[in-house]
Structure 1
Amino acid sequence: MEELYTYLDDAATYLENIGQVTYLEGLAEAGENLFRGEVCQPVSLEQKEWLLDKLSSIHIETSSKEDVRKAFQLAVLKGMKGAVQPHHSMTPDAVCLFISYLVNKVLEKREEPALLLDLAAGSGNLVNAILNQANIQLSAGAFEVDETLLKLAFVSANLQKHELQLFHQDSVEPIAFEEVDLVVTDLPVGYYPKDQIAKSYELQSKEGHSFIHHLMIEQAINKTKANGFLFFLVPNFLFQSEQAKQLHEYVKKEANILGLLQLPKSMFQSEQFGKSIFMLQKKGEEARQPKQALLAELPSFSKKDALADMMNQINKWFQEELRI
């Protein structure tokens, strides 16, 4: 993993230095070279030889999918430190793995393949982690509006050999994608500027711009099959805004609220940036309404004993409330 990260970092930095590209764009190019086994950029002979020399030191076929994902993730994180765009952020690795565990819980007894959708894929770290950890055959579709992040997700998925369909589109707009068994999205937070598009949503704001995180929850529920599951990373203040009542009523009408798991406070710079995992099941004949929703504040992921105890409680909840 370290060797792979070193290659990606060195090649991305080199491409940044010799061309009119950012580190993140250079990283996507470095990953593309690795996937194709050749230098794909129009560079001088000397530059090509330097890149080929770096490329020859890496044997991607001996790396596990998780090593590829983690090496790529580290390089993306480095690039994001230098990026000024506020939407350039990444779902933390521990959270990706914890959501993967929850996804496996709800798909545990499923025998046929499942289809997953991510409405805001970013660089693809969350969706790729879930695909790596899945205990059943799982394919996915993902939307991302930022071109650089989409290219990173594309290259990362290729290197991990995942069946992932990627779309360069704002996922609040009408999307041509089939209904899915599962939605997992780290929701962007803020106002959605396209009022005309928002008008087609039940969760549109009565005045001013609508919340993009509310519209995405509605879009996700619409794109999920009856009885399907939804996992969102949401801000802790989700049900404290002026539009919270409207959101709560809509969600209760369309889905069963399974739980809200607050992520450790230590993960965030300040309380205002804190997030939780919001778990839903779309209503249907086989959907179960738990008598008691799963509400908990997760311990720090570095405290192994406390986390193991919490996971035992979560497993017990799934068994008793959802019969999983």
Structure 2
Amino acid sequence: MKISPVEQLFTLFNETALILQEELSCSYLEALAETGENLFQGAILQEELSELTLKRLKKQYEEIHLVKYSNEDIRKAFQLVILKGMKENVQPNHQMTPDSVGMLVGYLVERFMKQPSFRLLDPAVGTGNLLTTVLNHVHKNITSIGVEIDDILIKLAYVNANLQEHPVQLFNQDGLEPLFIDPVEAVIADLPIGFYPNDIRAEDYQLKAKEGHSYSHHLFIEQSVRHTTPGGYLFFLVPNGLFESEQAPQLHEFIKENLIIQGLLQLPTSMFKNKNSAKSILILQKKGEGVQPPKQALLVNLPSLSSAVGMDSILSKIEKWFQENKG
């Protein structure tokens, strides 16, 4: 039976990570970052390995030549091993953005961003899966920046980008602390949902809660807007109840003041564990000179993303909207 490229890579990442995990007494995800770095550098970088382990790793690395694989195969295989590692040690904020959603975000970025080159920010980049999916599907010259507070996740994002040869600038910091970056023309983010524990930091935001903790997903929207050029686009994965919470009136005001809603695409609830965790893609544009709102916002209820017929009719509906509103 022929093994697919993704399976070949998965086996390599997984088996070498398991060897390193045992030898270095570290977590699976840390070992995965180590093996990814070895593959990228074309050398075994860990100095404390036994002769036997070195031989075993060398043999496995030599069997696979990354240049023969597409970026998407590398990304998918790397995503699968990360998912395996996360199952062992799950933290609720470390959920991966599903592939079909990443591709849809990529399609939207490609359609909305008219210029041949632009700067792109993901302020909550995680393992870099959403960002690299978009980079693999948008055929333009993109300078990309990712921010992530978690040490292991950013290391995985770094390896992920390197293996796919995407030059991504990564910052290991809280995405709601000041960002020392030049403004960008586009933002993508699978927004971290929940309360932001740092009330002192939240004070700097217009969207801080009147009392108690603020919503981190609201603050991330404001932070993203601050770093976007006038007329720039923002593509967020948001909870379906975004505009129904007790802090929603403030968000409404903020959006009305600074942004234009270009569209809201509700993802099929079948993609999510339960109705409460279901999400939509919210497309915003920062106000600026000459920026016009669309005649009507693009509002779509997406069918199952695996239904080809359903998706085709939705994509033609979206294309029609572009012709009528974006000319």
Structure 2-normalised TM-score? 0.96
1:51 aligned partner, one-letter code: L
Cα distance between partner residues in 1 of 2:137 and 2:310: 22
Equivalent of 2:129 in 113, 125, 130: 125
Which residue among 286, 289, 292 is the counterpart of 1:288? 292
Look up the SS of the partner of 2:90 in the other structure.
coil
Partner of 2:53: 47
Once the two structures are superposed, what CA deviation does each residue of 1:237-257 show, in whole Å capped at 9, x if it has no partner?
A: 101100101101101110101
- 1:262–1:275 contact (8 Å) kept in structure 2: yes
Q: What is aligned with 1:220? A: 224
State the shift of 1:19 in Å.
2.2
- Report the alpha carbon displacement of residue 24 of structure 1 after superposing the two structures with TM: 0.9
How far apart are the structure 2 equivalents of 1:262 and 1:6? 35
- Corresponding residue to 1:29 among 22, 28, 34: 34
Which residue identity is paired with 2:129?
N
Q: Distance in 2 between matches of 1:202 and 1:144?
A: 22
Q: Which of 164, 177, 181 is residue 177 of structure 1 equivalent to?
A: 181
**In structure 2, distance between residues paired with 1:262 and 1:20:** 43
* 1:19 to 2:12 alignment: no
In the TM superposition, what is the alpha-carbon distance from 1:230 to its structure 2 partner?
0.2
1:9 aligned residue (14, 18, 28): 14
**AA at the equivalent of 1:267:** M
- Asked if structure 2 preserves the Cα contact closer than 8 Å seen for 1:147 and 1:168, the reply is yes
Structure 2 match to 1:211: 215
CA distance in 1 between counterparts of 2:250 and 2:199 reads 17
Give the structure 2 partner of residue 229 of structure 1.
Answer: 233
CA shift for structure 1 position 120: 0.4
- Structure 1 residues without counterparts, runs of 5 or longer: none
Letter in 2 for 1:23: Y
Over residues 11-68 of structure 1, what are the superposed CA-to-partner deviations in whole Å (9 max), with x where a residue is unaligned? 1112122222111111111111110111111211111111111111110111111111
> CA-to-partner distance for each residue in 1:283-318, whole Å, 9 max, x for gaps?
112322012111121000111011010010011112
2:304 to 289, 300, 313: 300
Q: Which amino acid aligns with 2:258?
A: E
| Letter aligned with residue 78 of structure 1 | K
Task: Write the distance in 2 (CA, Å) between the matches of 1:200 and 1:117.
Answer: 21
Which residue in the other structure is 1:187 paired with? 191
RMSD: 0.9
The separation in 1 between residues aligned to 2:224 and 2:201, in whole angstroms, is 15
Q: How does 1:73-92 map to 2 (within 5 A)?
A: 73-92=79-98
Corresponding residue of 1:101 = 107
The 1-side partners of 2:207 and 2:326 are apart by 28
Q: Which runs of 4+ in 1 moved over 6 A?
A: none
Q: Is the 8 A contact 2:148 2:172 kept in 1?
A: yes
Instruction: Count residues with an aligned counterpart.
Output: 321
1:275 corresponds to 2:286: no
Pairing partner for 2:73 from 39, 50, 67: 67
Q: Is the 8 A contact 1:131 1:139 kept in 2?
A: no
1:256 aligns to 2:260 (yes or no): yes
Identity %: 49
State the alpha-carbon separation in 1 of the partners of residues 255 and 152 from structure 2: 33
Aligned with 1:87: secondary structure? Answer: helix
Q: How far apart in 2 are the matches of 1:297 and 1:80?
A: 30
Moved more, 150-159 or 287-296: 287-296
Equivalent residues of 1:172, 1:216 under 8 A apart: yes
Paired AA for residue 213 in structure 1? H
Q: Give the residue type in structure 2 aligned to 1:19.
A: L
Q: Which residue is 2:62 aligned to?
A: 56
The answer to whether the Cα contact below 8 Å between 1:288 and 1:322 also exists between their aligned partners in 2 is: no
Paired position in structure 1 for 2:3: none
* One-letter identity of the residue aligned with 2:102: C
